[in-house]
A and B are shown apart, each in its own frame.
Chain A
Amino acid sequence: MHGWTGKIARIDLTLRKIDVQPLPPDTCTRYLGGRGMGGLFLQPAATLDWDHPDVPLCLFTGPLTATAAPTSGRCHMVSVSPLTGLMADASLGGKIGVQLKRAGWDGIVITGKSNEPVGIDIKDNHITLVSAKNLWGMTTDAVHQYLNPKKAALACIGPAGENRVGFAAVITDRHHAAGRTGLGMCLGAKNLKYMLVSGTGRTRVKHPEQLKTARQDICRLTAASPALMGRYGFSRMGTGAMYDLMDNRHMMPTDNFAATWFGAAKDLNAAAYARAYSPKNHGCKGCHILCKKIGTRTPAPATPAAGTALPEFETMSHFTALVGLEDIQLVTAANQRCNRLGMDTISAAVTLACFREITQKDFTPASLLALLDDIALDRGEGKALKKGAAAYARSMGQPDAAMAVKGLELPAYDPRGAYGMALGFAMSTRGGCHLRAYPISHEILRKPVATDRFSFSGKARIIKIAEDLNAVVDSLIACKFTFFAAGLEEYAKAFSAVTGQDVTAQDLLAAGERIYYNERIFNSCRGFDARQDDLPARFFTRPGTGASQIRVPPIDRAAFLQAKAAYYSVRGLTPKGLPTRTKAEQLGISWKT
């Protein structure tokens, strides 16, 4: 095969056994790789508890990984979420995708549970299990320093994953967090501390010249994108470039989503970080956008030192407006703390905001950092918070204070300011996630064209199509940011050039629909239906913070429900949000009762 290596490694941590499994070409074409393939291999575990040893932890590359296709260096991790109970998945940046593919593997599927802390060392075809007893308890930066991976890629967990924090992250190559849905806890439950991967092979490309042309087309489009390569785009300013936009649009979640505008925001934007930290560019392997920013100077004593990754937009927003603090050095410190401890910054901040609302205790920078430590180290008030906002709010008898959908804490876009986002949050197979449908593309960034952000008109189908598209993006694999500029039309050309298969954008979308529906089936097996496809009540009852030109009313509940019903119809679900056998078979998914 071209594009795929045609084999995966099955690693049983209980038996310490490693098997090689071939991947049939038809399976590759139908589920592509990454999230799609992970979802397929997860399917047999649909009815198991998240920490059952038979639940696999899947790490898959895609057919474009380790090729010249732009932004294709990522890989995708899939398991069952301890935080939500849904399928869990997250994209891993850095270089682990490239190294795993070069090592000759389309993916690895890890089952069982080691009886002691262990690491997985992959060097080309050789996979060994290495004792990690001496690393248990270490922060992720310490693990990185100890193992000193050099050109190899390192993914590891910190104390949060070991101590069963529901939103524990997997940190790759020091700076890249696979944060959402608690995958770090999945590793921790298997006593898996790290994966160290290096490879020397090359992905076979069927038509290198065609791939070169496809790359040029994609790079030309990204160069034309103000959001990506413009003076104030992600490449220059990082994802923090979104901060001013959310402020201007009055959709910055403030005080645990009680308001949508934060008065201090103008002094806490990406330009402020640039002044303070003089950042340099950094990015995932094979990416030309380089959205990650690394500080090159220490702005003040007792602040994170030069070499620290600067916070992404979500972290910038949630560790200021959401929790009521106005200090960029605190944000950078919190970001660094979360990365070292191995925690998702979004979920951590929303959980803290929930705590603040319920306890009515404001944070100081010191008290916030201390509480982050307590969560990761399972001590003090952290014990109650480590299960996430929803569990904490329930335990305090105030479930409405948790700003989460299906247990996953909401990112930094207030849905009252973008109704596609509202629908996307509610319908997501991952819980409160902005990336499944990523409607900021058209509702905020005006790509491919602008849509009315205060209307549900047409949004059901728009969200469905975008979900399919992003399922493809997570499976090829490419970075979602690229799709602010390029489209599947261009990536289909890259896919065809790599694999030799004559595939169109629409063919890929069909695969995306299959991948997404498969997730919906998986979640329905775990008891999820229309009841959970909803938003926290306050979005329907309280207005956001408007301005003279912008009204931010509560979302009209009836309009939302109408859009939700339209979505079910378009997606091929029952009015109760459940998948059907007919639709599954139409998509070529085997239906097991």
Chain B
Amino acid sequence: MENLIKKYAGKLVEAGLAVSSGPGAPLVGGLDQTMVWNTTAPEIPLLENIFQHLNINSLVFLRPTFPYDRIIRFLAGRALTDGGSILPQDCETRTFLHDLPVVDQFDLHAIVKTLKHRKTVIVQENDPKTGFFGPAVIAPGTVSPEQGFVHISSVCFACFVAFFTNYLAGLKSGLQDPEMDQVFDQVLPFLQNKAPACPDLMHGPFSREQDVYAAMVQTGREIVAHGLVDSYFGNISCCWNNTLYISQTGACLDELTGCIDPVPLDGSSTAGITASSELTAHLETIARTGCQTILHGHPRFCVIASMDCDPAQKAVCAFADRCHTHCPITRHIDSVPIVPGEVGSGPFGLCNTLPAACDTSDSVIVYGHGLFVTGKTDFTQAFSTLTAVEHLCKNRYLEQVQRLKQT
């Protein structure tokens, strides 16, 4: 348990969600027969008490670092005056977290009460008397601290996407919101960076199976390092020798060693039962397009751009409450199509929309979810496209905001 606690505290720092020391350092606790924490902190006595009230074995506490702190503080403040929960519309929140409840005090009773219903709670309190300052996010696990890590990462991602989505929608609707403007201006420096250079990835075509594995491990690691995916989301595949090599479900892309499933294309094995939820979409796409590699990340501005819809049009749309599955309009960002579709292979799964869209484009955005990119023989071009489309979406977003602010 000690190893896991240290590992996930470290991963929160590596992901840019927390600082490594001081009051902003993440706290990760685990309980088997005895309780262990990754460090000491004044919050720990109360956090430890949570274990007395919930049937859990681990807990993660995080004070998100910039810009997540500003964004979450703003959204949490609004939520406290309006129902008590942040309601992001991205795919991960909709599918796994449902909503993001907020409490206004670092209070055992309030936290426990919320965590009895939901996987996370955001604590908004700022009280000089108690010395507690928020926002902070708390997430328990019943199996591993990885659950807390994943859920807290998802909260940060979802809030980021929700803030920028709402901000653009507000500007388009002509709403004046000085407080939101202020937060936007504060976090703007975080966005103003150039597209990073693409790493030097292994070149294909691959002649040996071990090269396929090595290329996938390397590419997965770079996708995470470039901030193109959070926690254990995203997936990657490579078709080689009539077998699809694909990352396993719930595998962190920066830890793919031992987490890649070889799935024979002839269906002669069910080993793909532990493969990514998007296995079917990958197989269909490869069958239709002849591509050999697929990358799927959750770049933030691709997700934000996918949910950008004209408010006037949305107001009269019969599917306005089901955009993620029923959006009737084929939209594009430049030539990149945006398609609806849920995670997995259900009736509204993206496996029904993504492969066809890949017929005409090597990059496709799935509404509220992320970006899929195909490649020919290796991951070099696909990776380059992944970063380029994200950069494009970010620039388009900022241009729109600038234009709307001027009008």
Contacts and interface: CB of A to CB of B under 8 A. Distances in A.
Interface of A: 217, 219-227, 229-233, 237, 240-245, 248, 266, 269-271, 442, 444-451, 457-462, 465-466, 468-469, 489, 492, 504-507, 509-510, 513, 549, 565-566, 569-570
Interface stretch (B49-57, B127-135, B181-189): B49-57
A449 B144 contact: yes
Interface residues of B, number: 57
Contacts of B345: 223, 229-231, 233
B4 interface: yes
Given A226-B277, A269-B270, A460 B342 contact: no
A573 to B, nearest CB: 13
Contact of A224 (B95, B147, B269, B283): B95
A134 B258 CA distance: 59
Interface stretch (B29-37, B192-200, B288-296): B29-37
Contacts of A458: 1, 4, 30, 32, 57, 144
B343 interface: yes
Nearest to A420: B143
B142 A465 contact: yes
A449 B271 contact: no
B274 interface: yes
Contact of B57 (A243, A269, A445, A462): A462
B178 interface: no
B273 interface: yes
A442 B143 CA distance: 8
Contacts of A229: 344-346
23 contacts: A220-B94, A223-B347, A224-B342, A226-B249, A226-B274, A230-B275, A231-B283, A232-B272, A232-B273, A241-B270, A245-B270, A269-B268, A446-B248, A449-B250, A450-B144, A457-B1, A457-B32, A458-B1, A461-B31, A469-B142, A504-B117, A506-B54, A509-B55
Contact of B270 (A220, A232, A469, A549): A232
B270 A243 contact: yes
Nearest to A456: B32
Nearest to B58: A458
Contact of B279 (A226, A241, A469): A226
B144 A230 contact: no
Contacts of A227: 249, 273-274
A441 to B, nearest CB: 8
Contacts of A224: 95, 277, 342-344, 346
A466 B55 CA distance: 10
Given A230-B275, A460-B33, A220 B346 contact: yes
A569 B143 CA distance: 18
Interface string B33-46: 10000000000000
Given A220-B342, A229-B344, A505-B117, 16 more contacts: A223-B344, A224-B346, A226-B273, A231-B280, A240-B270, A244-B273, A271-B269, A444-B274, A446-B274, A458-B144, A461-B31, A465-B57, A466-B142, A506-B54, A565-B33, A569-B33
B95 A230 contact: no
A489 B274 contact: no
B323 to A, nearest CB: 15
B250 A450 contact: yes
B270 A451 contact: no
B96 interface: yes
A217 B272 contact: no
B342 A225 contact: no
**Which 9 residue pairs are nearest across A and B when measured between Cβ atoms?**
A223-B346, A504-B116, A224-B344, A566-B33, A224-B343, A232-B270, A506-B116, A449-B146, A241-B270
Contacts of A570: 32-33
B35 to A, nearest CB: 11
Q: Which of B1, B232, B269, B275 has the most CB of A within 10 A?
A: B269
Interface string B337-375: 000001111111100000000000000000000000000
A458 B250 CA distance: 20
Nearest to A449: B146
Contacts of A506: 53-55, 115-116
Contacts of A231: 272, 279-280, 283, 345
Contact of B272 (A230, A240, A444): A230
B283 to A, nearest CB: 7
B142 A226 contact: no
Q: Which of B30, B116, B119, B263 has the most CB of A within 10 A?
A: B116
Interface string B233-262: 000000000000000111100000010000
B272 A226 contact: yes
A248 B271 contact: yes
Nearest to B248: A446
B32 A461 contact: yes
A449 B143 contact: yes
A507 B258 CA distance: 37
Contacts of A233: 273, 345
Contacts, number: 175
B98 interface: yes
Interface in B300-355: 342-349
A271 B264 CA distance: 11
B216 interface: no
A465 B274 CA distance: 23
A290 to B, nearest CB: 14
Contacts of A469: 142
B173 to A, nearest CB: 28
B59 interface: no
B55 A513 contact: yes
B143 A451 contact: yes
Contact of A270 (B32, B270, B277, B348): B270
B142 A232 contact: no
A449 B232 contact: yes
B143 A226 contact: no
A445 B268 contact: no
Given A226-B277, A566-B33, A448 B143 contact: yes
Q: Which of B30, B251, B277 has the most CB of A within 10 A?
A: B277
A489 to B, nearest CB: 7
B153 interface: no
B319 to A, nearest CB: 16
Q: Which of A242, A444, A489, A569 has the most CB of B within 10 A?
A: A489
B271 A230 contact: no
Contact of A226 (B3, B119, B275, B342): B275
B273 A445 contact: yes
Contact of A489 (B118, B150, B279, B343): B118
B269 A244 contact: yes
B89 interface: no
B267 A271 contact: yes
Contact of A232 (B32, B258, B271): B271
A510 B55 contact: yes
A552 to B, nearest CB: 15
B277 A230 contact: yes
Contacts of A244: 269-271, 273
Nearest to A485: B344
A248 B267 CA distance: 16
B342 to A, nearest CB: 6
A269 B269 contact: yes
A513 B115 CA distance: 18
Contact of A271 (B143, B250, B270): B270
Contacts of B283: 231
Contacts of B1: 457-458
B154 interface: no
Nearest to A566: B33
Contacts of B143: 442, 448-449, 451, 462, 465
Nearest to A222: B346
A461 B141 CA distance: 11
B276 interface: yes
A292 B349 CA distance: 23
Contacts of B263: 232
Contact of A505 (B116, B251, B344): B116
B140 to A, nearest CB: 10
